[in-house]
Amino acid sequence: MIFKELKSRSFIKTLSWFIVGFSITLVAFSLITGNIKEGFHGSIVVQSIKLFAYYWHERVWSRLKYGKKFNPGLK
C-alpha cells in the first residue's frame, strides 16, 4: 500500500504553519519596529506570500518518492 497525501492535509498543515509563522514574524517585526501595529501589517504581508509558497512546496514534496519507504508490516 502506498500512501498519498491529500490536498486537504496539505491545506491544514499550511494553515497551522501560517499561525506559527505569523506569530513569530509578528513578535520579530514588533521588536524591530517598536510598534505592534506595524509588526502586524508586516506579518500579514510576509506570511500571506509564504502561505502560498508553503502550500505548493508541500504539494511538490508529497509527489516525490525521495525518503518514502513502504513497510508492509505497518498497519
Residue 2: inside a domain: no
- CB-based contact 43:25 (threshold 8 Å): yes
Residue 57: inside a domain: yes
Confidence (pLDDT) at 2: 61
Confidence (pLDDT) at 9: 85
pLDDT < 70 stretches in the chain: 1-3, 71-75
Residue 72: inside a domain: no
Domain containing 21 equals: 8-63
Confidence (pLDDT) at 14: 84
Euclidean distance between CA atoms 21 and 53, whole angstroms: 13
- CB-based contact 47:22 (threshold 8 Å): yes
Which residue is it, cell 502561505? 51
pTM of the entire structure?
0.66
Residue 29: inside a domain: yes
What's the number of domains the chain is made of?
1
Residue 34 in 3-state DSSP? coil
